[in-house]
Structure 1
Amino acid sequence: MVGKIKSYFADELDQEIGGFEAEFLIEFFARELGPYFYNRGIFDAQQVFNEKIDEAGYIIHELEKPEAY
C-alpha cells in the first residue's frame, strides 16, 4: 500500500512523499474511513443473509404436503 500511495502522489499530484508519510496517511484513512466500509460490509452481508433466508422459506414451503381433511 505504501508503494501505491507514493506512486499516486508522484503520478497524480506531482509530489514526492516518503514511506513514513504514506504509512501515516494509510493509518489516517483506516481510522477515519475504516468504520464506514466495515459497517457497509456488515449491512451488505445482512442483506444477502436475509435474501437467502427468504429463499429457504420458499423452498421449505414447497416441500409441504397437502393435508387430507
Structure 2
Amino acid sequence: MTLELSREARQQAISSIERYFVEHMDGQKIGNITAGALLGFFLEEIGPVLYNRGVADAQERLQARVAELDIEVHEEEFDYWRKYDKQTKGRR
C-alpha cells in the first residue's frame, strides 16, 4: 500500500524538511526536489510502520468497545413481574 499525501500536505512536508535541514544541520540547505525525494522515501519506507500502528490502535479501541457492548446495551430478562409488582405496591 502506498501512502499518499494531498498536494497541500506534501508541499507543507517538503517545506518542513527544507527548514529542518537549515535549522538542525548547520545551515545546510536541501533543495525542493531532494526534500521531495526524501519525503517519498520516508512515506514508502517508514509510512507503513506508522499506518500499521494506527490500524492496531484502532483495533484495540474497537475491541475494547465491543467487549463493553453487553454492559452498555444489556436489558434485564424476565423483568415484567418485577416491574408489575413495583407498580402494584405503589398504588396501595
Fold similarity call, TM over 0.5: yes
Instruction: Tell me which residue corresponds to 1:53.
Output: 66
1:1-69 to 2 correspondence within 5 Å? 1-14=13-26, 15-61=28-74, 63-66=75-78
What is the letter of the counterpart of residue 19 of structure 1? N
Unmatched segments (≥5 aa) in structure 2? 1-12, 82-92
More helix by share: 1
Give the alignment's TM-score, normalised by structure 1.
0.86
Unaligned 5+ residue runs, structure 1? Answer: none
State TM-score, norm by structure 2: 0.66
Q: CA RMSD in A?
A: 1.6
Higher-Rg member (1/2): 2
Find the aligned partners of 1:66 and 1:58 in 2 and give their Cα distance: 17
Partner deviation per Cα, 1:11-37 (whole Å, 9 max, x = no partner): 000210100000000000001111101
Identity of aligned residues (%): 36
